Structure 1
């Protein structure tokens, strides 16, 4: 199965397949893989394979860090963590796929024969779509009860949405990460706090940039081939209705750190969370927080912990 998806016979590819096999086997033999895991892993559709692989990679992260975890009872979120105080934190994993708008735009070659990366707004829209889908899992939709109403997620439990954005890369340049947006911050941060381009504030007297800041971006454009361009919200944590979502766990996981490729991870905290996640509970290179100001703006703070998955040195 792995040979069919990653068929090359180089030493790097062999090492990569062996690593994935170890990760997948460990997850399958644990109490955390659900009944459909093996079927979806072997499914011909890449979407199902990558969703299953993402769950296995997240499990590996949690297992290697020695975080206490419990098997979720019944059909609920993918993982349940418990901190030292006994408080429960649920983690629901999602691996968004490239949309048709991204396929069309990133498939156009440049004059030099290279390909362009997917547009910033198109990538961001897939993150917002993932947040919407996993929020509906918590609250439910018309005719379908959510995790809260089914009493799987308790009223005092924290709920974290983990999004693995690896599959949003251009199919022509899979080595080029789209983990960060146009402002060089992770997409998870941008869609959480409504952040846009970098802006330079120019001193009118000296006509020189006095400071660099970030523009706000409350909405992004969603491009659809058969319908007009739509505006969708891109300030997830600034909307009071999302206070039950404690944090976004932003991931760029593929297992490739074993062959020298970076796999960045961040945790983005909700400033209005009903049940915040304790800093350091969930593995992350960097954690972000947002302090709203009376002016309508806010202060972005980051705490760098070091690389959770440092790329291993590799020589071909």
Structure 2
């Protein structure tokens, strides 16, 4: 199964986005009761809104031309793309491509590790490309799983979210978490279109999980940097934590995910209980 970025991912993404829009959402008249053969906008409607020819837009969707920035911007406006979608679109069009050394193993720098070790009472994880777990503190292992017990190649938050039953049980709203994981991973396919590590991860998840396979086909994209998650932990029960993704200056491909709770809240007391059962890290 070939899971590397398909040559016409750009066209598939455009079709997915226009299928979600109704004419009335973009200022076009309704069809007056006439049934549409396909959901969403037609190609000619997108072309009209973008001010380009139908032939040009058709060839763009079919992967038969490389668009200019101005034409792509016009199409993006027509499809009402949000910031993450727009970033993904430009990367697919190779107008902002990022390369990566495929053979280089991701490592955590000394300063980042020192910061991680200094965080007390706060679960924290260092993630790399594709949400590989590179390092963690004891409280993060107590909250999630003891990452030291699993092989390095399996230490990936997205992989664990779909394939490890402990992770599915941990999230109160697992479906929302799973969708966000898929959207986050989809962003990386535009950043690293030929990376075999990414292709292998997508292939494994597509083969082994029906939810991943279905959501991957929707071409949803997102790169959130903060939010909230509610966990149902087997030892301390329900706890809601706020999370933030902090950039690592030592490596642009790495980030630190930290989870915090409001002072004197049930969640903060639950974290205090977890410190008593936290496993030792062995990275």
Same fold (TM over 0.5): no
Q: Which has the higher strand share?
A: 1
Flag the structure with larger Rg.
2
TM-score by length of 1: 0.26
Asked which structure has the greater RCO (Cα within 8 Å, sep 6+), the reply is: 2
TM-score by length of 2: 0.28
